[in-house]
Amino acid sequence: MPSLNIGITGATGFVGRHLVADALERGHRLTAFVRRQPAGALDPRVAAVAVGDLGPETDWNDHLAGLDAIIYLASRVHVMTETVSNPLAAYRKVNTEAAVHMVAAAARHGVKRFVYVSTVKANGEETPWSPAEGGRPFGPDSPPCPVDPYGISKLEAERKLSEFATATGLELVIVRPPLVYGPGAAGNFARLVKLIGKGVPLPLGSVQNRRSMISVQNLADLLLLTVTHPQAPGQIYLANDGQDLSTPQLVRMIARALGRSPRLVPVPTALLRSLGRLAGRTAEVERLVGSLQVDSSLARSRLDWIPPLSVADGLALAVREYNPTAAQ
Catalytic residues: 150
DSSP SS3 for 186: coil
Partners of 29 in the β-ladder: 5
Partners of 176 in the β-ladder: 238
The span from the CA of 268 to the CA of 203, in Å, is 9
The span from the CA of 46 to the CA of 38, in Å, is 12
Beta strands per DSSP E along the chain: 5-9, 29-34, 47-50, 69-72, 113-117, 129-130, 134-135, 171-176, 179-181, 213-215, 235-238
Partners of 5 in the β-ladder: 29
Burial group, residue 109, by CB count within 10 angstroms (0-12, 13-18, 19+): middle
**Cβ contacts of residue 33 below 8 Å, gap of 6+?**
7, 8, 9, 11, 49, 51, 54, 63, 74
